[in-house]
């Protein structure tokens, strides 16, 4: 007999999100939050009501890290396991809690209703070690806090009764500039469209030189113009708030303290392109922000800055809805994000066509990140000269950096484009720096002789991640952590990425274990070339970067760890035969390879 709670959870999800296939992921997230898993009863009900095969729904559940067919219990605890959290003691925190509760990683304890496991970066690198409990963020996990959490779990105290300060997320803005200055007036950017016209707004955006702040750097004005010129009954504006790049947390600040500016930028885009529908794709790790973000949306509706006839303009109808992600880094890629918005697995699309002509449900769609929409609103209100007062000719404006690692003042910094690495290190109080990883694992690891380079599209571009490693750190361990991340986050669609990430990771492991040779380094570089040239999307094309940059920028450190032989196999076939020897009771020379065994 089916559990009525399972049916009720599925019905509630359908009631909230509607009976359409594009709502599948949001309904599954609702069920997961309600029940702690996605049971077969709920899957069968959704299959019947949405017209989706159960196997397809199962595929969605297994694709996203935060969904599960197996019960996670009353307490689903996931420790952030990126390299910065490890440096802050994240692994020790997790092991301390598991020891006190008598659990292993990934194992569910039905008696206490608790599961403890690891997850990728939770966007708290400046205030870790961090974890998620039932999707809510825990910060600054000291041994004392871990002991309290163990006691709370053993006494079965509900999560909403845990100490509030354990869930506190600070803004941690340590340096601001024009983007975060006091220029904003609600509705001003949207009114500018009415007063000076759509074409003038587009000209101003293009004149400002605003480029997408996610790292790729495509012209924002050009993207909006392409969408505006397409004839279509329905157009869509999407904010990519899925900053899953390890070491990145600047969107967290913008969403927490500047959400109204984001919504203004999205509404501006709708006015210019003719869009009627908007989405914020909020990464699942930032679910703690959902209620406040919904509240800001309602304030704008009440002020007639969203909804029907915005600012009294007949026919200007535009509203925004927030969709949650569920733990899939690949959904930061815009076409994978659109697939996820449509309720599917986040597998990147083949392009062309591009989203500006064929995006969400086939509609022309503009996708920009949080920082880009806020900058666009600022340009509409203050003009392109305001924006160009900072930065370089090729990279005008400012950039928000998420600085973490070995420095005295980790946090969020707004800097003008063109600032050098050494200047940034000085600002954040870094010393004895061995390396800086810019733009996350897919970015570049810089050695000290390169610290004169500049943060700019023409030199060192970045979506915002800036990780600092001093001379006490093992850079090979950092690279292996990055490769572990890519192995886990590969969507598995294409062979070069699915297999290549694993092979490169194994070679780094071999080098780390003291068995690496020059042949292995050459193999890594060949694999990286294949992945760059044949992978389906940007993840696979850049996934080998941690290994390649280690070889290119830190060759001495690597060569010191190599064996002197030109080649050594990474697989010990004789050792692999030990189980067979035990099963047959043989241990004579013929049962060993070195003894003539085959």
**pLDDT tens-digit series, residues 449-485:** 999 999 999 999 999 999 999 999 999 999 999 999 9
**pLDDT tens-digit series, residues 112-146:** 999 999 999 999 999 999 999 999 999 999 999 99
Fold of 398-471: Ubiquitin-like (UB roll) (3.10.20)
Torsion, Cα 101 107 111 113, to 10 degrees, reads 90
Handedness of CA 344, 345, 348, 349 (dihedral sign): negative
- Percentage, residues of the chain above pLDDT 70: 97
Q: Given a cut of 90, is residue 566 above it in pLDDT?
A: no
pLDDT at 269: 98
Cβ–Cβ < 8 Å for 512, 522: no
Name residues whose C-beta falls within 8 Å of residue 374's C-beta, 6 or more positions apart in sequence.
179, 254, 258, 261, 262, 264, 265
Is 398-471 in the same CATH topology as 180-388?
Answer: no
**pLDDT tens-digit series, residues 15-47:** 999 999 999 999 999 999 999 999 999 999 999
Kindly report the pTM of this predicted structure.
0.93
For residues 598 and 594, what is the distance between their CA atoms, to the nearest angstrom?
Answer: 9
The helix-helix angle for 495-512 and 475-489 (nearest 10°) equals 150
CA distances from 96 to 101, 120, 125 (A): 9, 19, 20
pLDDT at 593: 73
Q: What angle do CA 596, 597, 598 make, to 5 degrees?
A: 115
Residue 598 — very low, low, confident or very high, per pLDDT cuts 50/70/90? very low
Mean pLDDT of the chain: 94
What are the residue ranges spanned by the domains of the chain? 4-63, 75-170, 180-388, 398-471, 476-559
Q: Is CATH 3.30.200.20 what the domain over 75-170 is classified as, yes or no?
A: no
pLDDT at 162: 98
For residues 564 and 86, what is the distance between their CA atoms, to the nearest angstrom?
Answer: 32
Q: Given a cut of 80, is residue 505 above it in pLDDT?
A: yes
Q: What angle do CA 478, 331, 32 make, to 5 degrees?
A: 100
Fold of 476-559: de novo design (two linked rop proteins) (1.20.1440)
**pLDDT tens-digit series, residues 304-355:** 999 999 999 999 999 999 999 999 999 999 999 999 999 999 999 998 999 9
CATH C-level class of 180-388? alpha beta
């Amino acid at each position: 007999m089916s559990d009525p709670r399972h049916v009720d959870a599925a019905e509630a999800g359908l009631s909230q999100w509607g009976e359409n296939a594009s709502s599948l992921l949001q309904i599954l997230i609702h069920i997961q939050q309600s029940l702690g898993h996605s049971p077969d009863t709920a899957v069968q009900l959704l299959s019947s009501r949405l017209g989706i095969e159960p196997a397809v729904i199962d595929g969605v559940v297994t694709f996203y890290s935060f969904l599960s067919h197996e019960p996670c219990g009353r307490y689903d605890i996931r420790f952030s396991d990126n390299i910065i959290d490890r440096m802050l003691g994240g692994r020790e925190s997790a092991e301390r809690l598991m020891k006190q509760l008598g659990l292993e990683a990934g194992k569910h304890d039905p008696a206490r209703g608790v599961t403890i496991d690891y997850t990728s970066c939770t966007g708290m690198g400046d205030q870790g070690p961090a974890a998620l409990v039932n999707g809510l963020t825990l910060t600054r996990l000291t041994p004392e806090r871990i002991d309290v959490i163990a006691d709370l779990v053993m006494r079965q105290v509900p999560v909403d009764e845990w100490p509030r300060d354990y869930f506190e997320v600070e803004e941690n803005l340590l340096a601001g500039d024009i983007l975060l200055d006091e220029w904003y007036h609600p509705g001003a950017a949207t009114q500018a469209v009415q007063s000076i016209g759509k074409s003038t707004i587009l000209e101003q955006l293009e004149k400002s030189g605003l480029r997408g702040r996610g790292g790729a750097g495509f012209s924002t004005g050009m993207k909006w113009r392409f969408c505006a010129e397409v004839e279509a009954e329905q157009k869509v504006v999407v904010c990519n708030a899925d900053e899953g790049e390890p070491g990145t947390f600047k969107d967290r600040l913008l969403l927490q303290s500047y959400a109204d500016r984001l919504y203004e930028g999205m509404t501006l885009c709708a006015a210019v392109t003719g869009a009627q529908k908007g989405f914020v794709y909020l990464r699942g790790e930032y679910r703690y922000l959902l209620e406040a973000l919904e509240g800001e949306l309602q304030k704008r509706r009440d002020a007639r800055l969203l909804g029907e006839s915005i600012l009294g303009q007949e026919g200007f109808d535009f509203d925004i809805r927030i969709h949650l992600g569920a733990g899939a880094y690949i959904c930061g890629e815009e076409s994978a994000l659109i697939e996820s918005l449509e309720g599917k697995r986040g597998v990147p699309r083949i392009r062309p066509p591009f989203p500006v002509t064929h995006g969400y449900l086939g509609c022309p769609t503009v996708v920009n990140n949080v920082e880009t929409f806020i900058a666009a609103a600022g340009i509409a209100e203050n003009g392109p000269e305001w924006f160009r007062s900072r930065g370089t000719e090729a990279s005008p404006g400012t950039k928000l950096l998420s600085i973490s690692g070995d420095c005295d003042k980790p946090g969020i910094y707004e800097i003008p484009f063109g600032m050098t690495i050494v200047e940034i290190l000085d600002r954040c109080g870094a010393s004895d720096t061995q390396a800086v990883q810019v733009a996350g694992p897919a970015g570049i690891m810089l050695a000290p002789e390169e610290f004169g380079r500049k943060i700019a599209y023409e030199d060192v571009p970045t979506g915002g991640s800036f990780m600092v490693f001093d001379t006490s750190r093992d850079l090979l361990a950092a690279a292996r952590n990055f490769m572990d991340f890519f192995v886990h986050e590969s969507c598995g669609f294409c062979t070069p990425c699915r297999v290549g990430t694993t092979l490169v990771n194994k070679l780094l492991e071999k080098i780390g274990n003291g068995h690496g040779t020059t042949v292995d380094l050459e193999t890594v570089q060949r694999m990286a070339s294949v992945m760059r040239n044949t992978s389906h999307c940007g993840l696979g094309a850049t996934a080998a970067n941690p290994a390649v940059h280690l070889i290119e920028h830190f060759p001495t450190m690597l060569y010191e760890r190599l064996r002197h032989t030109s080649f050594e196999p990474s697989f010990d076939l004789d050792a692999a035969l030990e189980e067979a020897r035990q099963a047959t009771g043989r241990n004579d020379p013929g049962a060993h390879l070195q003894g003539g065994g085959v």
